[in-house]
């Protein structure tokens, strides 16, 4: 089953499982958005769980592969200037340098090619722009046998359990890490802030 189809079925349950568990870490991550009005990409917006925590001075574009997810996100936009776009986060339909900041919350461990997702995000970001990431990542050399055993099934349904952040970052050398903090599940989940050189 493709991600587009699996998330069509998951969309109604997604909020119930993730909203309460991730509310505080989303809010904390989003405080790092620029203070001046900016063009912000929400890459893999899902059902729009970030939207209630976003400041109103920015222009937001949210992209997701799943129309069902985007439909739920639209219901959360309230007064935010928000443009929904259906598309693939690994092949963004935007020109280079289109955005001042990007948010990647719980998307890098979902897509088949997290390195392509990060590289595309960097491509559409202007130099000096920032990327805010929350996701679950293994550490380099971490065995995590149960996660690796469950990964073939988990990645077909909803998410990957075997993504090593440092391997993903190494493929996009024009990004610099400003912050990398463990936040949940004994450090499996991390909050990361990058800037594009």
CATH number of the domain where residue 121 is located:
3.40.50.150
Give the neighbor-by-neighbor strand order of the sheet with 59-64.
Answer: 82-86, 59-64, 39-43, 99-105, 125-136, 189-196, 175-184
What is the total count of domains within the chain?
Answer: 1
* Cβ count near 147 (within 10 Å): 16
First to last CA, the chain: 38
User: Distance (Å, rounded) from C-alpha 112 to C-alpha 160?
Assistant: 8
- Residue 10's pLDDT is what? 58
Evaluated on CA atoms 173, 109, 10, 81, the torsion sign reads negative
- Residue 146's pLDDT is what? 61
Residuewise pLDDT in 10s, the chain (197 residues): 455 545 555 556 667 677 878 999 999 999 999 999 999 999 999 999 999 999 999 999 999 999 988 999 999 999 999 999 999 999 999 999 999 999 999 999 999 999 999 999 999 999 999 999 999 998 887 776 566 655 455 555 566 778 999 999 999 999 999 999 999 878 889 999 999 99
Name every residue whose Cβ is closer than 8 Å to that of residue 84 and which is 6 or more positions away in sequence.
Answer: 45, 62, 63, 64, 70, 73, 74
User: Distance (Å, rounded) from C-alpha 28 to C-alpha 36?
Assistant: 18
- Residue 102's pLDDT is what? 98
Domain range for residue 7? 3-196
User: Distance (Å, rounded) from C-alpha 177 to C-alpha 25?
Assistant: 18
C-beta separation of 144 from 138 below 8 A: yes
């Amino acid at each position: 089953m493709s991600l587009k189809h699996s998330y069509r079925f998951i969309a109604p349950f997604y909020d119930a499982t993730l909203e309460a568990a991730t509310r505080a870490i989303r809010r904390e991550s989003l405080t790092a958005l620029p203070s001046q009005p900016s063009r912000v990409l929400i890459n893999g917006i899902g059902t729009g769980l970030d939207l209630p925590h976003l400041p109103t001075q920015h222009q937001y574009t949210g992209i997701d592969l799943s129309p069902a997810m985007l439909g739920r996100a639209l219901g959360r936009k309230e007064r935010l200037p928000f443009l929904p776009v259906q598309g693939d986060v690994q092949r963004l339909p935007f020109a280079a340098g289109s955005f001042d900041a990007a948010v990647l919350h719980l998307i890098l461990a979902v897509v088949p090619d997290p390195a392509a997702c990060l590289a595309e995000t960097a491509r559409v970001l202007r130099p000096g722009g920032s990327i805010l990431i929350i996701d679950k990542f293994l550490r380099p050399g971490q065995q995590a046998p149960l996660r690796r055993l469950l990964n073939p099934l988990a990645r077909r349904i909803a998410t990957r359990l075997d993504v090593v952040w440092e391997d993903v970052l190494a493929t996009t050398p024009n990004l610099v890490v400003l912050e990398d903090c463990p936040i949940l599940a004994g450090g499996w989940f991390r909050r990361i802030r990058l800037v594009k050189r």
